[in-house]
Amino acid sequence: MALVLGVDSSTQSTKVEMRDADSGELIGSGRAPHPSTSPPRSEQNPEAWREALVEARQQAGSIAVVAMAIAAQQHGLVALDRDGQVIRPAKLWNDTESAPDAQWLVEQLGGPEAWTEACGSMPVSSLTISKLSWLHRCEPEHFDRIAQVLLPHDWLTYRMSGRFTTDRGDASGTGYWSPAEGRWRPDLLDVVDDTKDWASCLPEVLGPTDTVREREGAVIAPGTGDNMAAALGVALEPGQVAMSIGTSGTVSTVSEQPVADPKGYVAGFADASGRFLPLVCTLNATKVVQAFARVLGADLNEFDRLALAAPPGAGGLVLVPYLDGERTPNLPGATGTLGGLRGDVTAEQVARAAVEGVVCGLLDALDALRVSGVRVRAGDGIVLLGGGARSHAFQRVLADLSRAPVTVPRGEPVATGACVQAASVLHQTPPQEVASAWEVGAGHAVEPSEDVDARAVRAAYAEVRHRDYIAPRRSNPPETPDEEDAGE
């Protein structure tokens, strides 16, 4: 039996799967934690990712594999010197210290529309280009040493192969690669510093079935970003909606054409199959549940039970969960709001409000995707991914408030998607064909309840959100277009 290895190096942990290269049958798996982080400064030593990969691989079993692919958290900045050594800890996607740099970058090109036309996405603190600008501004001695700029999956692949490579999916989340043109845009990096030879700092962008290198009898695939791998891991089809509830929340679909949202709310990513992956990201997801579970003194299973015990609408309690700032809408300095508190508040209501707040934020993100003109078929059902997908409360609330069936696939979709890519490169077959043949999107479905007033729950959330976040900014005219509200 020939086996492939898929790696998911996320913010919180590394997860691996070993699967049969022909059938996709799961043979082994493993998981190892990463050091915890907390915005606004969210950094990790890349070596911790490699150590976690080794540990997770050992848990999966010692059987040799014939191909492997690494997927990892998008956007993070790994800066190397001329000797290939890491200059400083990697800034992660959810590090918000570069928010002023993102705003400054937007202004340099005259607004969001110019950026989305150039590279599909508007700079926010998450994007790599914003973090490079931060490094240039705050740590010039480190910036001057940069010889290679890599993303987390690029660095892990480099450690496995010795080559500086990436793929179109992960490259599209940097803020300096154009999905529409299929090329790096060093002229955008010149906005940060026009004296550096950026072309020499950037990895080679490989195609979906290209080989990085063969090592010890195993083919190394290009790898990709976690959202792109997840799309492969559930065989996401054009127009089909995927929502991920992990450290961040995301809403995405596959598109046959590149997407450039002039308002900048939708990130016009490429995917790992040769198509495109328009995506809207929220900054606060499972950490919201973890925070309120800690406050209530409950473990996650008990928190799930509490949330399901409260009625829809949480008895009038509303949480706008911008605990660590927010990306959509772009409010990097925001904090959360808990509205509707009364003297008879219960633990069940608090838990329910936390879950509903995260879900309402994701549904707002879905609305932003629709408003931008992206074709979505949410009524046909939503594929629920990420660690939060295991929560029965998230499954139930999402189905009820979206009024659509929710499917929870088996396994770890990002690691599964990496396995799909590895088999695709091994067999030289388009990855979407491998994903379809493996039937990776199968899972259990949760149907919406007909007696839940979804409109009332979302309206209550929108009222608090508008009162505390939108109206105050409108009373003081925004200085930059990116301060406007998504979907308003």
Q: Would you place residue 41 in the very low, low, confident or very high pLDDT band (cuts 50, 70, 90)?
A: very high
On whether residue 355 sits in a domain, the answer given is no
Domain containing 92 equals 3-233
Report the pLDDT value the prediction gives residue 475, as an integer from 0 to 100.
60
Is residue 476 a part of any domain in this protein?
no
pLDDT in tens, 346-362: 999 999 999 999 999 99
pTM for the full predicted model = 0.90
Tell me, yes or no, whether 80 lies in a domain. Answer: yes
Q: How many structural domains compose the chain?
A: 1
Q: Which of 95, 101, 226, 261 is catalytic?
A: 226
Predicted confidence (pLDDT) at residue 199 exceeds the cutoff of 50 = yes
* CATH number of the structural domain spanning residue 199: 3.30.420.40
* Residue 468 annotated in active site: no
pLDDT digits (tens, 9 = 90+) for 153-169: 999 999 999 999 999 99
Which sign does the torsion angle of CA 116, 119, 121, 124 carry? negative
> Are residues 424 and 463 in contact, defined by beta-carbon separation less than 8 angstroms?
no
Helix (H) or strand (E) holding 267: strand 267-270
The mean pLDDT of 382-411, rounded to a whole number, is 95
Residue 202: count of CB within 10 angstroms of its CB: 20
Asked if residue 89 is part of any domain, the answer here is: yes
To the nearest whole number, what is the mean pLDDT of the chain?
A: 94
Domain-located, residue 158: yes
ω before 40 within 30° of 0 (cis)? Answer: yes
Bond before 33 cis per omega within 30 degrees: no
pLDDT at 476 over 80: no
Q: Would residue 147 count as lying in a domain?
A: yes
Residue 127 belongs to some domain of the structure: yes
For every residue of 369-404, DSSP letters joined together read HHHTT----GGG-EEEESGGGG-HHHHHHHHHHHTS
Encoded tokens for 30: 């493993």
The answer to whether residue 142 is domain-embedded is: yes
Residue pair 175/106 in contact by the 8 Å Cβ criterion: no
